[in-house]
Amino acid sequence: MAERISWVLVDGENIDATLGGQILGRRPQPEERPRWDRLLSFVIDRWNQPARGLFFLNASSHLPMPFVQALLALGYQPVPLSGPADEKIVDIAIQRTLRELAAREGDVVLVSHDRDFVEDVARLADGERRVGLIAFHEFRSSEFAGLPGVEFFDIEYDAEAFDAPLPRVRVIPIDEFDPADFLR
């Protein structure tokens, strides 16, 4: 019998757009981007089983080979896609992958904020598998909140995917509140 695995599906465009547009207000510098290997390590440690990462890329205009090579070195399988500019090709590919995973065994973690995936994530949360969503909590589509059986993880605070704190405003559980953080 094969060992159960966790599939980690990364919507890199979505994470990058949220980071740049909503959090930083500009294009992220390389040192400000997530450390993608930490996401795989987080899922492996959290769910105590191997994880395989699929990183979906829009390569319609070009294939960023240095980034693809880095993803391969980090243990991801890059999924470069092309298609018409008016189609959300990364979303389409992730939706198709989520639907295919519904017919297979294994746990699934989606790395995205996008509401386009709510229906497919709900279908996966059937009680037979673990289903997770990694995102910036405050930018995650509120439609995910109503899905029973889905675990939510913050990409910065839970997965610790960044080297330095991001300029985010978050609700702080009182048990985690440290006034020194605000008295600098």
* Mean pLDDT to the nearest integer, 135-152: 94
Closest CA to 77 of 56, 93, 62, 48: 56
d(CA 60, CA 80) in angstroms, rounded, equals: 8
32-52: per-residue pLDDT in tens? 999 999 999 999 999 999 999
92-106: per-residue pLDDT in tens? 999 999 999 999 999
* Mean pLDDT to the nearest integer, 145-171: 93
Question: How much is the mean pLDDT over the chain?
Answer: 94
d(CA 99, CA 125) in angstroms, rounded, equals: 12
Check whether 2 has a pLDDT greater than 90. Answer: no
Task: Give pLDDT, residue 172.
Answer: 83
> What is the number of alpha carbons within 13 Å of residue 97 lying toward its C-beta?
22
Report domain extents, the chain: 6-182
Q: What's domain 6-182's architecture?
A: 3-Layer(aba) Sandwich (3.40)
Q: Is the separation of the CB atoms in 7 and 107 below 8 Å?
A: yes
| pTM reported for the whole predicted model | 0.92
